[in-house]
Amino acid sequence: MRYAKRGRLRFTSHRDVARTFERALRRAGVPMAYSQGFSPHPKVSWVGAAPTGVASEAEYVEVSVVDAVDPEALRAELDRAMPPGLDVLEVVQAEGGSLTERIEASAWRVELPGVDPERLSEAVSALLAAESVEVERLTKNGKRMIDVRPAVVTASVAGPASGEAPSSDAEHDAGGLSLPCGILVMVVRQLTPTVRPDDVLSALGVVADLVPPVPAKATRMAQGRLDDEGGLVDPLALDRASVEEG
């Protein structure tokens, strides 16, 4: 399944999203497969969940069922059982192989209200020119240093000239003020440790002293394997093609 996390639901933790999904699966009457043992639980596998505070148009989850179901009917029924902001976009029958192995990078769009696009473009160029950019991240085990640069595959700045515009949420987050808005678009490898959008923004601060005046809004636009041009291959393409051939 591919689902979206939109609006205020981007502030929902992955644990709460998982609980909401399991309740919705029960309400939708999905014939779930369960694990064995003293505490059986639904066989649901999450793939690279977006961090709290981040919106997404491309989150993925695998669900095991004991009886065949119609994918589109399941999508519609499950979507009705979900709260607004968690939207089930596509359901396909898995044709074998691991979904996790089909995902190695994410495409991101990050809106930066109050940041001039030209200033952002200069900072991005400085980041791409660097061989290594370390930033500090606070974890539950204390502070650790992360090298952001190896994870960044591509990065550029979009703006009104390329047909892009900030979302209405960006203006709301800026307090309703009419501010310039730099829009960073990038493809980031999913390495260990994971490099998040806020880590990339911290790296821009390191290389170019760029500090956004208001919080940024990050949205994951796609996930998949990298192609030769640095783009992403749709992880559900194989399953979709199998259905069409059948």
In tens, the pLDDT along 210-234 reads: 999 999 999 999 999 999 888 899 9
**What is the predicted pLDDT for the residue at 245?**
59
Record the tokens describing residue 105, joined without a space: 């990078």
**What is the predicted pLDDT for the residue at 39?**
85
Same domain for 32 and 115, yes or no, is no
Same domain for 222 and 107, yes or no, is yes
In-domain check, residue 15: yes
Residues ≥6 apart with Cβ < 8 Å to 237? none
In-domain check, residue 11: yes
Are the C-beta atoms of 219 and 56 separated by less than 8 Å?
Answer: yes
Are the C-beta atoms of 148 and 126 separated by less than 8 Å?
Answer: no
Q: Is the peptide bond before 193 cis (omega within 30 degrees of 0)?
A: yes
Same domain for 111 and 166, yes or no, is yes
CATH of the domain at 66: 3.30.70
**What is the predicted pLDDT for the residue at 176?**
47
Record the tokens describing residue 240, joined without a space: 């979709």
Domain end point (choices 91, 121, 138)? 91
**What is the predicted pLDDT for the residue at 197?**
95
| φ/ψ of residue 101, rounded to 5 | -70, -10
In-domain check, residue 218: yes
Where does the pLDDT of residue 38 fall: very low under 50, low under 70, confident under 90, or very high at 90 and above? confident
Structural domain range at position 208: 102-226
Q: Which residue has the tokens 């969940």?
A: 49
**What is the predicted pLDDT for the residue at 174?**
44
Same domain for 79 and 115, yes or no, is no
In-domain check, residue 237: no
In-domain check, residue 234: no
Q: How many domains does the structure of the chain reveal?
A: 2
**What is the predicted pLDDT for the residue at 208?**
97
pLDDT average, residue stretch 111-120: 95
Same domain for 124 and 38, yes or no, is no
Give the rounded percent of residues in the chain with a pLDDT score beyond 90.
Answer: 71
How many angstroms separate the CA atoms of 1 and 69, rounded? 13
**What is the predicted pLDDT for the residue at 184?**
97
Closest CA to 57 of 224, 243, 225: 224
Q: Is the C-alpha dihedral spanning 102, 49, 120, 193 positive or negative?
A: negative
Same domain for 51 and 73, yes or no, is yes
Per-residue three-class SS string for the chain: CEEEECHHHHHCCHHHHHHHHHHHHHHCCCCECECCCCCCCECEEEECCCCCCCEEEEEEEEECECCCCCHHHHHHHHHHHCCCCEEEEECCCCCCCCCHHHCCEEEEEEEEECECHHHHHHHHHHHHHCCCCEEEEEECCEEEEEECHHHEEEEEEECHHHCCCCCHHHHHHCCCCCCCEEEEEEEEECCCCCCCHHHHHHHHHHHHCCCCCCCCEEEEEEEEEECCCCCEECCCHHHHHHHHHC
Where does the pLDDT of residue 161 fall: very low under 50, low under 70, confident under 90, or very high at 90 and above? very low
pTM of the model: 0.88
In-domain check, residue 209: yes
Where does the pLDDT of residue 120 fall: very low under 50, low under 70, confident under 90, or very high at 90 and above? very high
Where does the pLDDT of residue 159 fall: very low under 50, low under 70, confident under 90, or very high at 90 and above? low
Same domain for 151 and 39, yes or no, is no
Are the C-beta atoms of 183 and 162 separated by less than 8 Å?
Answer: no
Are the C-beta atoms of 195 and 146 separated by less than 8 Å?
Answer: yes
pLDDT average, residue stretch 185-202: 94
Per-residue three-class SS string for 121-184: HHHHHHHHHCCCCEEEEEECCEEEEEECHHHEEEEEEECHHHCCCCCHHHHHHCCCCCCCEEEE
Same domain for 76 and 109, yes or no, is no
- Lowest-confidence range among 20-24, 80-84, 114-118, 227-231? 227-231
Same domain for 173 and 65, yes or no, is no
